[in-house]
Amino acid sequence: MTQLTPEQKRELICQALQARQKAVAPYSNFLVGAALLAKNGTVYTGCNIENAAFSPTNCAERTALFKAVSEGVTEFTDIAVVGSRRGEINELVSAPCGVCRQALFEFCGPELNVIMAKTADDYIEMSLGELLPLGFGPRNVL
């Protein structure tokens, strides 16, 4: 369960919306931004980065996660995600894809609060455990 106030959630969503502006998505024209809040209070943002060969494309959530982990930060409480076609506000919230759920599960486990937003004031929240039930993680292997 997240400890964030509604105003803090709004702020995290705004950071995801800002990160979305950096999306490199000439092929899908679907722009995604993410803002990942670390336990130490630092926010790592990310956008989707597409590639002409398609499969090297990186999702916004993993861009944010890898930025954090590459700086030695591995504990997180919340992530805000916003995605929509260029120039549009989505009718659907954009939930993390299966690969991103798995990547987040590695570091966050089921407790991570996932804020999936259309706008700063219109969002739903679910835990990563709800989005990825029985997630396969380090505890299964180590």
| Cβ contact 1:113 at 8 Å | yes
The answer to the question of residue 112 lying near ligand THU (CB under 6 A) is no
The answer to the question of residue 128 lying near ligand THU (CB under 6 A) is no
The answer to the question of residue 78 lying near ligand THU (CB under 6 A) is no
61 is catalytic: yes
Nearer Cβ to ligand THU (42/51):
51
CB of 61 to ligand THU, least distance (A): 6
Q: Which positions touch ligand THU (CB under 6 A)? A: 25, 28, 30, 32, 48, 50, 57, 59-61, 96-97, 100
